[in-house]
Amino acid sequence: MVKMLSRTVPQRIGSWFCKSSRQFLQLHGSTNYATRSMSERVDRLRFMQKLKEDESVCQKFISEGYFAVFCNLKPLIGEAGVLWKSYADIIKLLSSFSVDPMRDSIFVTVDEPEESPPKFAINISSDDKAQSKQLEAKVGSILGGRPCSVRKALFILPQDTASVVSTAYSLLQWHSKTQYCSCCGQTTTKDTSGFKRTCTSCSETFYPSIQPIAITLVTNGDQCVLARQPMFPPKMYSALAGFCETGESLAMTVEREVAEEVGLEVDQICYHDSQHWPFPSSGLMLGCFAKLKDGSTDVINIDKAELEDARWVKREDLRRMLADGSASSMPGLVGGPDLYIPPPQAIANKLITSWTFEE
């Protein structure tokens, strides 16, 4: 496990947010701020809204911000986690690349609690695939650290940092795929914060899209269904997941996906928690529990096109396996040695451990 992100950001700015953003909110827009006490959370959200929507405000805070550098959409990771660079560092270190933080960076977040300046991300990439490895080596040698696949980064970084990387990756990927207008085919341009893109010809505006995905733990008494896709690390099993389709409610998606993937009928579907997930592009994982329908078969019949295996696992066996803690080939996985589940950063882990250890 890498060290916490906060250690990589100078502590001198401990009260940065309170000073800068509150002064800012008093001067801009929040006219009733002085007479009405808003919570720090509301302050933070309104400040982030201003950063996203106001070009000049965003430009001001870019010059005070910290930047995560991506190369070919891979975050640069060092011994202490994500390498956060100041604006001055970025200008100096990236002078040999054709990137400009004012023009090319995207706003990602303001930490909570608000202990540091806003965080931005910037991507350096090459259209020449043959040069991608050399580019990654060059960026790594100049900035330190190494470009790491986002999937691996999410498994090894602390949860709060993983969330920032996940958001930044999704936004950077969306910008790289939305270079042209889907209405007229002309080029689009990014606003300063990366909150939207606008067509240079027909002025159509595009906002980052989100794909809702249902992820479901099917239970029947003291056992639950765990499944694995061929792409999973060895011995890793998870809950069942599938995209919501047009016209469906969340419950309809759960019913359909469970039927399609493992041939079971469920009801008593309940929502548990949600999480942004950057694959395959920008997903909103909606975590649910569902119970095997009374009187229906409990015989699993898997869709071989989607799954490699699916099985009923007893709660007592899961408790034993999760307590084992054997090392896996993929850092961060939980369990072992015969079965692993996704790391604590993943909502699948929350669903499985919540059910496993509930009293």
Closest separation between CB of residue 100 and Zn ion, Å?
Answer: 24
Q: Which 3 state secondary structure label does DSSP give 140?
A: helix
Binding segment for Zn ion (CB under 5 A), chosen from 102-110, 130-138, 195-203, 280-288, is 195-203
Residue 199 touches Zn ion, criterion: CB under 5 A: yes
Residue 182 touches Zn ion, criterion: CB under 5 A: no
Q: Binding marks (x or -) toward Zn ion, 126..165, rule CB under 5 A?
A: ----------------------------------------
Closest separation between CB of residue 123 and Zn ion, Å?
Answer: 24
Closest separation between CB of residue 281 and Zn ion, Å?
Answer: 21
Structure tokens at 359: 């009293």
Binding segment for Zn ion (CB under 5 A), chosen from 15-23, 178-186, 258-266, 308-316, is 178-186
Residue 240 touches Zn ion, criterion: CB under 5 A: no
Q: How many residues bind Zn ion (CB under 5 A)?
A: 8
Residue 131 backbone class (left: φ over 0; alpha: ψ -120 to 50; beta: rest): alpha
Decide whether 203 or 296 has the Cβ nearer to Zn ion. 203
Helices marked H in the chain: 16-27, 40-53, 55-62, 87-93, 101-104, 132-143, 150-156, 159-177, 250-262, 315-324, 347-357
Closest separation between CB of residue 229 and Zn ion, Å?
Answer: 38
Residue 51 touches Zn ion, criterion: CB under 5 A: no
| 119, 167 Cβ separation under 8 angstroms | no
Cα–Cα distance, 218 to 236 (Å, whole number):
17
Residue 202 touches Zn ion, criterion: CB under 5 A: yes
Question: Beta 340-341 vs 223-228: how paired, if at all?
Answer: unpaired
Closest separation between CB of residue 199 and Zn ion, Å?
Answer: 3
339-to-129, 311, 318 alpha-carbon distances in Å: 37, 11, 9
| 289, 219 Cβ separation under 8 angstroms | yes
Structure tokens at 64: 């005070």
Binding segment for Zn ion (CB under 5 A), chosen from 133-141, 181-189, 335-343, 350-358, is 181-189
Question: Beta 81-82 vs 197-199: how paired, if at all?
Answer: unpaired
Residue 181 touches Zn ion, criterion: CB under 5 A: yes
In DSSP terms, 84 is beta-bridged to 68
- How far does the chain reach from its first CA to its final CA, in angstroms? 30
Closest separation between CB of residue 107 and Zn ion, Å?
Answer: 24
Decide whether 202 or 210 has the Cβ nearer to Zn ion. 202
Residue 197 touches Zn ion, criterion: CB under 5 A: no
Decide whether 189 or 296 has the Cβ nearer to Zn ion. 189
Instruction: Specify the amino acid at residue 256.
Output: R
Out of 137, 183, 270, 327, the only residue in the binding site for Zn ion (CB under 5 A) is 183
Q: Which stretch of DSSP H or E encloses residue 205? A: strand 205-206
Burial of 289 (0-12, 13-18, 19+ CB in 10 A): buried
Closest separation between CB of residue 308 and Zn ion, Å?
Answer: 43
Binding segment for Zn ion (CB under 5 A), chosen from 102-110, 196-204, 279-287, 333-341, is 196-204
Decide whether 102 or 184 has the Cβ nearer to Zn ion. 184
Q: Point out which residues bind Zn ion (CB under 5 A).
A: 181, 183-184, 186, 199, 201-202, 204
